[in-house]
Structure 1
Amino acid sequence: MYTYTDFDRHFVRQRAAQYRDQLQRRLNGELGEDEFRPLRLQNGWYVQRHAPMLRIAVPYGELSSRQLRALARIAREFDHQDSGPHAGKGGYGHFTTRQNLQFNWIPLERSADVMDLLAEVDMHGIQTSGNCIRNITSDCFAGIAADEAVDPRPYCEILRQWSTLHPEFAFLPRKFKIAVTGASEDRAAIAWHDIGLQLLKNDAGEVGFKVLVGGGMGRTPVIGTVIRDFLPWQQILLFIEAIVRVYNRHGRRDNMYKARIKILVKAEGQRFIDDVAEEFEHILKDDLDGSAHLIPQAEFDRVAASFVVPDAVQPLAADQSAWRPPADAPAAFVRWLERNSHPHQQRGYRAVTLSLKRAGIAPGDVDDAQMDSAAALADRYSLGELRVSHDQNLVLPWVRESDLPGLWHAARDAGFATPNIGLLTDMIACPGGDFCALANARSIPVAADITERFNDIDLLADIGDIDLHISGCINSCGHHHSGHIGILGVDKDGSEWYQVTLGGSDGSQLATTPVPGKVIGPSFAADEIADAVEAVIDTYLEQRSGSAEHFIDTVRRVGIDPFKASANAVRRATALAH
């Protein structure tokens, strides 16, 4: 993990002190809400439906056990309502698809104390909101993935430092998101970001970036456009600077719904690409000695030194026998091993997902006791390190294979061993209308209904790999467009309804091509949506060419019409019943 320097710590603590002064002036009445709003947003503080919400950055998903314990303390001591209609609520956090953690119940008057606690463990909420470059995200298996060509973490850290409070890009037309991967399978969903970066090596073994621009979800789902097939890594900051300058110059500011870079790229086409190339050349020419804006090798080496294989990792030698599960291992352990453990670069090690998806718990939610338990598991089994995944789970990256049986028992006791990774109930969901003032409908009850409906692990295993994503509104925080099954909450005359899409993909899992899902018809009422999903699944089980054919492949082979017919039959049955 990246180790903060004295400068880094001074910077974050100074920022926390600055926020405390701003908050105090707001509480004293010296600042009005219109004046205070941009100040709190710059530090990750929103005001949601019921209470303030804090969004904390977990840069490229790396988290230490010490940091997780600090987050547990914040959940326990600060994230709760003492009075009013929501008294007793809180005591937990919510991991998002962008490798952030959100608290939903912290009183604003206590927010500066929370910022101080975060700063003590090298964390903050800087640029987790606002029209700026947001938290840089990456593959949760970065540095350990068996299919990785280049470790993206040093580049992510350099991008994080470069973009933090960058004066030229502090007030962009709209928020701006960057994702980076270095693997052949895209577990960072780079094609769905404003800028997506794939690290690769050319035939000469040189490292560079494939650069995509203009991806995004929301009202207009767009897959990013490739504008460079191979950019030398030393030039990446200059090239991103050129992209964001063109966006800053020409992006729309008169309509927030048309302000994202995807709209500009779609409208301008080749002219946008040409403008970026021209701006890039200007930046290079303005640099008198030809090196000042390039990433120096010495700086890269300094940052990369934080991302080496830990000394405590001791891979098996080639002549040592690989670990195998005991012949009498419980079936539940074998299933968990198959679903929740993942291939590793180091022989004799696995990465293990701690599932945050189980009945009775909103996807991505984890309470203070569970945070402490996950931190303890990281200390015991993963050298004190965890990762936050795009799918709203936690990952232990450094688990010895010989420790897997012990970890399974401990994870099961802590509630983290649901063997459903990649299956239907390992769904992505935003907080929805239960918390968010922008939402049209609730996501959490829908997720709960579907989880209860498909709580049989044998049935889930028979259905196989499938991505289900739920968003409470068109802003798409639940990434419904990229789900094999997507569910979008919509408002109809003040009532909650849900639109269903099929065939979407984020580029991960089975290496499917990124594509937005297709709507299968009119929306469903809240009490119909679980039935509609069940009808879609039943149709898949009937239509698949064999148990080896995954859901997304069946949808692509037969089209959406059979699924549309079965789902719409649910609506007709409901109408007849009434």
Structure 2
Amino acid sequence: MYQYSDFDRDFVQARVDQFRAQVARRIDGSLTEDEFKPLRLMNGLYLQLHAYMLRVAIPYGTLSSAQMRQLAMIAERWDKGYGHFTTRQNIQFNWPELGDVPDMLQALADVQMHAIQTSGNTIRNVTADHFAGAAADEVADPRPVAELLRQWSTDHAEFQFLPRKFKIAVTGAPSDRAVTAAHDIGIRILRGEDGEIGYRVLVGGGLGRTPVIGKVIREFVPGADLLPYLEAIVETYNLLGRRDNKYKARIKITVNETGLEAFRAKVDERFALTRARFTGIDQQILAAIKAQFPEPAYRRLETGPYEAALTTDPAFRAWTEVNLAAHRQADHAIVTVSLKAPGETPGDATAAQMRALADLAEAHAYGELRISHEQNVILPHVPKAALPGVFRALKEIGLATANVGLISDIIACPGMDYCALATARSIPIAQEIALRFEALKLEHDIGPLKIKISGCINACGHHHVGHIGILGLDRAGVENYQLTLGGDGTEEMTLGERTGPGFGAEAVVGAVETIVLAYLDKREGPEETFLQFYRRMGIAPFKQALYPDAPKRERFVAA
């Protein structure tokens, strides 16, 4: 893992000290809330519905055991004993007192963490594939590139006041687990015909009120050109992006209004200038960063205990079938720890659970953890021989749910329970859906099915790319939920299609059940997934099931 340099430590400490003074001025009344707002947002501090919320960056989703333990301590000491992991690979603390926030930031700085640029019209936390450095299908570990981008973008003098927030994601595998096409810039590492590592760069993706799939602006950017090329993109956007209307300020609108070819030409013009400014120092920095991401010293253990447990423990076997992924080392596995036990809040982890996960990572995963954009925790390198013990330990802390990729592994934003922007609740809907299908005992028969829920059109729950997407809206003071089908957040990204009129809060779970039962009734067999069925049959069978006639439709549609 990357370790802070003296510069990093000094920079973060200076920001902590600076914000401590700003908070003191706010508390004594020297600063009004309007004056304080831009200062707190620069340090990841929001004012939510009921309290302040501190959003902490987890760069490219990577944590050490020591960092996870510190997050647990912060949750216990200054919050309500839990944290919420987000679709941006961040963690949010929802209940801090303003006067405690500088101490929270100091505690983060003590373990090489911060909350810088987790808000504001700047380049946000750079995200990456949560299986980075471990996946069997990986071309190259994307974390060194993501770390280079973090260093480049942090406090970049030209990019602190962009037209709108800006998000970058990196993946190093053909299977896109970082949703790159839904980002302002998406980067896919690939290997050229001559074996050279390079980058396919996408631009102008994003969800929100205007969902757009990112477009390829350059099929292959050589390694040495990546950073100057990205700088040229952001410079071009900074000049062209609209500042008269925040709803039309994202780069996806800029690319659409300018045209991809015209935008590419402008980027190429600036690239000629930025490339000349880069003298290879970025490649020297990247080489030094790569040296900090070595392969673990893998322990070679006999896999007999793992194979024996598969035959003697049905619960363990069911867990391995959905919560494990292939590791580049045949005697290891990637473990996804579900934070989606039915009835619980998706993405929440208690301090005790975080501490236990840190202990497990230290004992069995070489001290490393990852946070996924799907709001789960990853143990990236676990010897197969250790898996039975890991499973038993997870059961003891309520984190052995075998549902990764299944219908109860739901992405959900905080919704109206916390967020000042939300127009409907997300968390209770996710809980009710998970509990409904747990009661029906259908989850494993249904197979892979991704539900994503957003409590407003900002789409923090990624509902546009859910196999079933749920968008909560306010209709004349009543919560109303639109359903979309067929979305996909992978390398074959598609946006979901709306089914028709929305459903009231009391009926949306029944509508989801209707959709799922229609799929089970008409699929060609258990091997045909929900998404495959949708792509074969389209939306028609689901519309027929949801809206067969007006009287039944009234059961679902909100008044």
Q: If the TM-score is normalised by the length of the shorter chain, which range does it land in? A: over 0.9
In structure 1, C-alpha distance between the alignment counterparts of 2:196 and 2:305, rounded to whole Å: 33
After TM superposition, the score normalised by the length of structure 1 is 0.93
Maintained 8 Å contact 1:237/1:293: no
Quick check: 216-225 or 267-276, which moved more?
A: 267-276
In structure 1, C-alpha distance between the alignment counterparts of 2:394 and 2:421, rounded to whole Å: 35
Equivalent position of 1:123 in the other structure: 113
Equivalent position of 1:22 in the other structure: 22
Equivalent position of 1:391 in the other structure: 374
Within the alignment, does 1:253 sit opposite 2:243 as a pair?
yes
Maintained 8 Å contact 2:507/2:555: no
Select which of 258, 271, 287 maps to 1:301: 287
In structure 1, C-alpha distance between the alignment counterparts of 2:99 and 2:328, rounded to whole Å: 47
User: Which segments of 5 or more consecutive residues in structure 2 lack a partner in the other structure?
Assistant: none
Using the TM superposition, give the Cα deviation of residue 347 of structure 1 relative to its aligned residue in structure 2, in angstroms: 2.7
What do the CA deviations read for 1:115-140 (whole angstroms, capped 9, x no partner)? 11111111110000000000000001
**Counterpart residue identity of residue 145, structure 1:** A
What do the CA deviations read for 1:168-200 (whole angstroms, capped 9, x no partner)? 000000000000001010000000000000001
Within the alignment, does 1:448 sit opposite 2:423 as a pair?
no
Maintained 8 Å contact 2:117/2:125: yes
In structure 1, C-alpha distance between the alignment counterparts of 2:549 and 2:332, rounded to whole Å: 47
Change (3 A) 1:293 1:456: farther
Equivalent position of 1:99 in the other structure: 89
Using the TM superposition, give the Cα deviation of residue 458 of structure 1 relative to its aligned residue in structure 2, in angstroms: 4.8
In structure 2, C-alpha distance between the alignment counterparts of 1:476 and 1:225, rounded to whole Å: 20
Within the alignment, does 1:292 sit opposite 2:271 as a pair?
no
**Counterpart residue identity of residue 439, structure 1:** A
Maintained 8 Å contact 1:180/1:197: yes
Maintained 8 Å contact 1:524/1:571: no
1:558-573 correspondence runs (5 A):
558-569=537-548, 572-573=551-552
After TM superposition, the score normalised by the length of structure 2 is 0.96
% same residue: 52
Using the TM superposition, give the Cα deviation of residue 282 of structure 1 relative to its aligned residue in structure 2, in angstroms: 2.4
1:299-378 correspondence runs (5 A):
299-311=285-297, 313-315=298-300, 324-326=307-309, 328-378=311-361
Within the alignment, does 1:473 sit opposite 2:473 as a pair?
no
**Counterpart residue identity of residue 287, structure 2:** D
Using the TM superposition, give the Cα deviation of residue 65 of structure 1 relative to its aligned residue in structure 2, in angstroms: 1.3
Q: How large is the Cα RMSD of the aligned pairs? A: 1.8
Maintained 8 Å contact 1:528/1:571: no
Within the alignment, does 1:4 sit opposite 2:12 as a pair?
no
Equivalent position of 1:184 in the other structure: 174
Using the TM superposition, give the Cα deviation of residue 236 of structure 1 relative to its aligned residue in structure 2, in angstroms: 1.1
Equivalent position of 1:163 in the other structure: 153
Secondary structure at the aligned position of 2:373 is classed as coil
What do the CA deviations read for 1:233-271 (whole angstroms, capped 9, x no partner)? 111111111111111001011111110000011111121
Maintained 8 Å contact 1:315/1:347: no
Select which of 480, 491, 502 maps to 2:485: 502
Maintained 8 Å contact 2:415/2:456: yes
Equivalent position of 2:509 in the other structure: 530
Equivalent position of 1:49 in the other structure: 49
Using the TM superposition, give the Cα deviation of residue 307 of structure 1 relative to its aligned residue in structure 2, in angstroms: 0.7
What do the CA deviations read for 1:311-341 (whole angstroms, capped 9, x no partner)? 3x13579xx9996344642111101011111
Within the alignment, does 1:132 sit opposite 2:111 as a pair?
no
Equivalent position of 1:555 in the other structure: 534
Equivalent position of 2:400 in the other structure: 417
In structure 2, C-alpha distance between the alignment counterparts of 1:185 and 1:576, rounded to whole Å: 40
1:168-317 correspondence runs (5 A):
168-269=158-259, 270-285=261-276, 287=277, 291-292=278-279, 295-296=282-283, 298-311=284-297, 313-315=298-300
What do the CA deviations read for 1:108-165 (whole angstroms, capped 9, x no partner)? 1211111111111111100000000000000010011000011111111011001001
Using the TM superposition, give the Cα deviation of residue 561 of structure 1 relative to its aligned residue in structure 2, in angstroms: 1.4
**Counterpart residue identity of residue 459, structure 1:** L
Using the TM superposition, give the Cα deviation of residue 540 of structure 1 relative to its aligned residue in structure 2, in angstroms: 0.5
Quick check: 454-463 or 349-358, which moved more?
A: 454-463
What do the CA deviations read for 1:67-112 (whole angstroms, capped 9, x no partner)? 1111111111111xxxxxxxxxx32111011100001111112111
Maintained 8 Å contact 1:540/1:554: yes
When the two structures are aligned, how many residues end up with a matched partner? 556
Maintained 8 Å contact 2:340/2:409: yes
Secondary structure at the aligned position of 2:312 is classed as coil
What do the CA deviations read for 1:212-247 (whole angstroms, capped 9, x no partner)? 000000111100010111101111111111111111
Using the TM superposition, give the Cα deviation of residue 370 of structure 1 relative to its aligned residue in structure 2, in angstroms: 1.2
What do the CA deviations read for 1:412-468 (whole angstroms, capped 9, x no partner)? 111111000000000100000000010000001100110110115851111000110
**Counterpart residue identity of residue 530, structure 1:** V
